[in-house]
Amino acid sequence: MRNKELDKIWNGHWRNSILESSKMKYHLKEIEPSISSPLDILHFYILSNLYNYSIKDRNESEVKIISFFREGTFTASELYLIYFYKHAFSEAFHITLDATIDRDLSKVWNFAGLSTNFSNFSRNHWRSLKQFMAQREGVKLVLFLRRDRKYIGQMVLLNSDGSIKKNWNLPALCKGRANKPFYVSNGQTPCGIYQVDSVMPEANEKKLFGNNRRLKLEFVNREIIEEQFDELLLEHHFWKEAIIAQARGRSLLRIHGTGLKNKNFLSSHYPHVTTSGCISMRETSKEDHQRELLDTLMNSLGLEQNFSNEVHISGTLAVIELDESASSVELKDIVELDQ
């Protein structure tokens, strides 16, 4: 049986302040004797590393985790998690794991490694991506981000031939407020390829999501990407994050506005607001970017711009980290890439 208290810690915000670490160490100590299920043992092990909590018998925990792989209890999802926290495990653990996992799981481990090989998104990559996007049905959106998500990105719309639609772009933010990576629930928006799949039924929860309906995003399956990407794009890391996030069970990703306000005037993404992993558009008394996005997408599909036609919005979104520059993405950065 899963431990509910551990789930709360795992699914909550991961703050690493001194006060928060002290509090979490206390919680982990309290619940340690009741940890028994395979996934709880793995989550507890990782959280103990995050908060520098000394497990009573770390070696015993590692032996249990290895045995779960031998028994087939753990899948690719858990192996991805171990890969991204591999520094938390001993050298003996890694040697045993390497000798234990089967060929399919070894491919999973190697795929995770490829996803971390960051490199700038070049003009050649952009040229290849435009060719891929030109083959896709419906609207064609591309969101360019910096490696550091505290900076604002830029969203552009492509014409049917893959060229950038002139005189239209919108700023957007992909920073998770929970301080979590892309491969866990509520982490930052994974890079990759998404299917834009209509809108939510209602424009509700306006404080969190603003006055307009949220666009729904679904992961594009790995088989489709590997079939349609050319070799240059296949070698790039950006699309692999979404594949891993899908295997890790992430879902409910959206593009939405917000009724929340960023009161930190000094933040690098002011006035944008962080999310639980979704793409955030600005909605203020002067700007309604989510409304503009919905209307532009309907217009590009030849639809009258009204509430009932929002459900017919469909297409493809590519989310890309452009480079590691310490600044928000500007339109000129995309124009330079497009030359």
Q: At what angle do helices 76-84 and 58-70 cross, to 10 degrees?
A: 150
Reported as type and span, the H/E element at residue 198 is strand 192-199
How confident is the model over 285-330, as pLDDT tens digits?
888 999 999 999 999 999 999 999 999 999 999 999 999 999 999 9
Contacts of 313 (CB under 8 A, 6+ apart): 138, 139, 196, 198, 199, 215, 294, 297, 298, 301, 303
- Regarding predicted confidence, which is higher, 2 or 82? 82
Q: Kindly report the number of other CB atoms within 10 A of residue 12's CB atom.
A: 13
Tokens of 249: 């069970």
Q: Is the pLDDT of residue 132 over 80?
A: yes
What pLDDT score was predicted for residue 19? 85
Q: Is the pLDDT of residue 56 over 90?
A: no
| All structural domains of the chain with their residue ranges | 4-115, 123-337
Mean pLDDT over the full length of the chain: 94
How confident is the model over 116-131, as pLDDT tens digits?
999 999 999 999 999 9
Over residues 98-113, the mean pLDDT reads 93
How confident is the model over 201-233, as pLDDT tens digits?
999 999 999 999 999 999 999 999 999 999 999
**What CATH homologous superfamily does 123-337 map to?**
L,D-transpeptidase catalytic domain-like (2.40.440.10)
Is residue 119 classed as helix, strand or coil in its secondary structure?
coil
